Amino acid sequence: MKKILSACLLGVLLLFCGCAPEKKTSPTTIGQPVPALRFKDINGNDYFFNKFKGKVVVIANWATWCQYCLIELPYLQQLRTQYPPEKVEIVTILHDPENLDQAKQLIADDSLTLPVLLIGDHPMISQLASSGIPCSILIDRKGIIRFLHRGFAPADIKKYEDELNYLLGEP
């Protein structure tokens, strides 16, 4: 009985946390090219990923109910100011567009200027984030997924910096 109760409690915690704090990589995504993607941003404008050709890109998947996501966003904003926009692009994808008003308020409250895109119908992005969010993807200048992170802790930002610097140093 105690084991069943513990398992139920763990399931409820994972459901409400929305993500795992540790990072894992998935061999089925690392090394794959990102297809031509089109999104709508939170203001209804079209956003085409092919405009990032030649840039290193960070895609951060998040939701308004995910506490780890809300911790990660200001760090991503800070990271965005460290790199020239002609070399690095950091965008976010909102996975709960039904909470768009709440998302806009969170963005305003934290003075975030990161692009916020709506998830839409993109199987690749949905698949990458299906095992939990936050889920961040680093893409090289050739459009290949090179790094995948699940969960977030503030100390992770150093790893993001190292990976960005590595990708920027590649020919």
Look at the block and give the residue holding tokens 């203001």: 43
Look at the block and give the residue holding tokens 């993109």: 122
Sketch the domain layout of the chain as residue ranges: 19-169
CATH number of the 19-169 domain: 3.40.30.10
For the sheet with 88-94, list strands across it.
116-118, 88-94, 56-62, 135-139, 145-150
> Mean pLDDT over residues 1-12, rounded?
35
Nearest to 33 by CA among 134, 124, 162, 133: 124
Which among 17-26, 45-54, 119-128, 132-141 has the top mean pLDDT? 132-141
Q: What is the DSSP string of 149-171?
A: EES--TTHHHHHHHHHHHHHH--
pLDDT tens, residue by residue, 82-119: 999 999 999 999 988 899 999 999 999 989 999 998 88
Look at the block and give the residue holding tokens 């990660």: 72
Let me know: does 68 contact 135? Beta carbons within 8 Å: no
Better-scored residue on pLDDT, 48 or 25: 48
How far apart (Å, rounded) are the C-alpha atoms in residues 63 and 97?
8
Long-range contacts (CB closer than 8 Å, 24 or more residues apart) made by 34-38:
34/124, 34/139, 34/143, 34/144, 34/145, 35/124, 37/122, 37/124, 37/125
Look at the block and give the residue holding tokens 């090219």: 33
Least confident of 22-26, 42-46, 54-58: 22-26
**pLDDT of the residue at 17:** 39
How far apart (Å, rounded) are the C-alpha atoms in residues 10 and 106?
28
